[in-house]
Structure 1
Amino acid sequence: MAAYPPPEWDVTLSLPAVHATAMVLVDYALGGSSTPTAWPHAVASRVPAAVKSEWMLLRPIVAHGTVWRDFVLFRLGRDDAAQHEWRAYREWTARLPDEEMQALVVEGVLSGLRYYRENMKPMPEVEDCLAAVGTRAPDRQVLAERNVLPTAVRALAASWGAPVEAVPELAAHPPRLRRALLRMMDAVWELGFGRLWTERLPRLRRAAVAATRRLEEAAAPRRSGAGGGGAAVPAGVDELVLAATGRQLASSVLDKMRSASRVVFFPGLELGHFI
């Protein structure tokens, strides 16, 4: 196993991260999957049909909402108003230029096709699309070529069993894509997340403070050797995760995290025993 330097770490309270995670859970409920608590199903049962129909075309692009969450967190600074205020977060999303919406599509394709290659058996329709793209593993440079992205989106849609005409059409129309995203964001907020966030905010703040304290203790260098007189040994990512969450992740997940230069923890809502 390659030796990686210990990652930098941080604990932050992020409305977009928690809200996007709630969207993921509601998406699971819309698809009939189980969720850690009953809350996502209660919300999903009240999502308007028009919002749901557009979301079902968007979900392959944003991978239930996980790609959207990463997209936002890579673009917002820790102290941005959009990290903490719903109105600021929604306005930030509504003002994303068309180029950024296309960048979201690219990230969705990269993530979705990576999952397909690593976790799914080859599917004829997907493979035909990828053959037209010219590679089973297109990168950002390939996806920037003229007429390649629509075919890659078609491959993504096919891997999800989603409409292979309608999903690329949505992806090619940034205003419509943005509208579908905002409508789902609004639905989750208005159907219960807004109240939940307000009620649980003090608890989330306490959780962030407590996790920071535990991480500071866990990250303090320890001395190796029986008498503690050896070299300083920094905490590994597995120790940091355990300190922050009280739980251990699967080794396959930890292996992927070990190459990260920075790990950010944020408290969530309605996750049950999941992290």
Structure 2
Amino acid sequence: MFRHSTVANALCALRISYDSGMSSPWPDLAATRPPQTLRIGQPTLAATVPTAMLLVDYALNQNSLPDAEVTALAESLPADLVSASWPIRASMAHGAVLRAVLLHQLPVGHPGHRDWPALRGWIAGWTDAFVNGVIDFGCDSVMHYQQRRDPEPTAAEIAPRSTPSTAVRRDGPEVLRAWAIPDPDERAAELLDPRGFRHTLLDLLDAIWDGWLGEAWHATLPDLLSAAAPAPTPPGCSAEQWITLVTGLRPDPSYAEIADHARDVVVMPTVGLGRSLSLFADQQTWVLFSPQHQPDRSPNNATGRTGISLGNLGQLAPALTALGDKTRLAIVLQLLDRGPLSMQQLTDALEVHQSTISRQVTVLRRSGLVEVDGDRRVAVQRPAIRHAAETLLATLD
């Protein structure tokens, strides 16, 4: 599951985030489902701050990003903060869990929706019991995705806990192991320390705000407010069409399917997404975008440039990096042409040392482009390569 090299494949539990571009879990209930609610949400730091955390986590894991400034910020973070925040970023699923928590728990009308010191003060005021509840919700969300547990967790129902839950004590190491964090059994103890968790979370968010987000938020807030101006919903407008009308970006098929099956779709402007869209769900379905220009919201504008899903974009860097080496590319081409092969067969076909083949296959495995079966045969993952190629083509649209 959530290994660092393929972290963009799945961000967290199904109801928390679809930034990975995963297929819709809902059946076609068009004949019975009630009419959709389609609306534009006001910009809020409750969505923007954890989305920035998600972007930074992507950058720390060498994923592609829509904003080069975020990459620069991630590279400038102190090494001790990066290391200290590993359990937090894992249990918060990059930031997707925190995003659901803030959107559900920050009171309507709270100044923290627009003001970082106010939001920071609200987070700093979380009781240890509430932090335990947030950690429990995060671990439950990650494990729900991994094991398809029921019921699906929601941030609207976080229960404060006087002590860490049995589930966190049991699942904490597995959550960290799923993200390939070193020493998961030892570091899982940090999930049992709510004060340390809150302190490190605030240190990370402070670094993100001071290093990039604060300036970006204040510089773009007028544009965000303009993009959130009310707009009439054309008769018969689908969620996919509504997203395109509001954002000027056409959601990719996976996002369109999820949105068209959702009951309540909220399109909300934020910063740092470029041409990407970020879709996530927890009771409601949110679609985040960054306004590039004032979109044409006329009913006749049913098309737009492709809004590349954030997860799909993130997958590009590992895939293209893996294919950028001539030996690794040759391995992939051999597998595409001949099917699964053993290490020895690849060594004979490419006439290189077997240690070289083994090393390059490891890189390809980490990028999700090949797998090794029980018989030690290497098999190419055609869908992963096709997905990367289609995402790259979408950037030309």
Q: TM-score range by the shorter chain?
A: 0.7 to 0.9
> Are the equivalent residues in 2 in contact too, given 1:58–1:181 (CA < 8 A)?
yes
1:150 is matched with: 169
8 Å contact from structure 1 (residues 58, 167) kept in 2 = no
Greater Cα radius of gyration, structure 1 or 2 = 2
Secondary structure at the counterpart of residue 213 of structure 2: helix
TM-score, normalised via structure 1 length: 0.78
The reply on whether 1:202 has 2:222 as its aligned counterpart is yes
Specify the alignment match of 1:229 in structure 2: none
Counterpart residue number, 1:2: 29
Give the partner amino acid of 1:236: S
* CA–CA distance in structure 1, aligned partners of residues 66 and 227 of structure 2: 19
Q: Per residue, is there more helix in 1 or in 2? A: 1
Q: Which runs of 5+ in 1 are unaligned?
A: 119-135, 222-232
Match of 1:87 in 2: 117
Calculate percent identity across the aligned residue pairs.
27
What is the CA deviation profile of residues 47-90 of structure 1, one whole-angstrom value per residue up to 9, with x for unaligned ones?
Answer: 12221111122111011111101110011244211101111100
Structure 1 Cα separation of the partners of residues 111 and 86 of structure 2: 30
Q: 5 Å matches for 1:161-180?
A: 161-162=180-181, 163-180=183-200
C-alpha distance after superposition, 1:154-208 (max 9, x if no partner)? 2222221223224421211110110111000000011122122122222222222
2:184 and 2:151 mapped to 1: Cα distance?
18
The reply to whether residue 59 of structure 1 matches residue 59 of structure 2 is no
* Cα deviation, residue 251, structure 1: 3.4
Corresponding residue number in structure 2 for 1:35: 65
SS of 1:112's equivalent? helix
TM-score by length of 2: 0.55
Alignment of 1:174-193 (within 5 A): 174-193=194-213
Aligned twin of 1:230: none
Secondary structure of the structure 2 residue equivalent to 1:74: helix
* Farther-moved stretch of structure 1 (179-188 vs 74-83): 74-83
Contact 2:87-2:191 within 8 A present in 1 as well: no
Change (3 A) 1:74 1:167: farther
Partners of 2:122 and 2:95 lie apart in 1 by 17
Offset from partner CA, 1:217-272 (integer Å, 9 cap, x none): xx243xxxxxxxxxxx4x33222222222223233333333454322222122211
CA contact (8 A) 1:12 1:264 kept: no
Matched, 1:105 2:127: no
Range that drifts further, 77-86 or 169-178:
77-86
Gaps of 5+ in 2: 1-27, 278-397
Q: Which amino acid aligns with 1:148?
A: A
- CA drift at 1:8: 4.6
The root-mean-square deviation of aligned C-alpha atoms, in Å, is: 2.5
Task: Give the conservation status (yes or no) of the 8 Å contact 1:57–1:166.
Answer: no
Establish whether residue 243 from structure 1 lines up as the match of residue 245 from structure 2. yes
Q: Higher relative contact order by CA 8 Å / sep ≥ 6: 1 or 2?
A: 1
Aligned to 1:13: 43
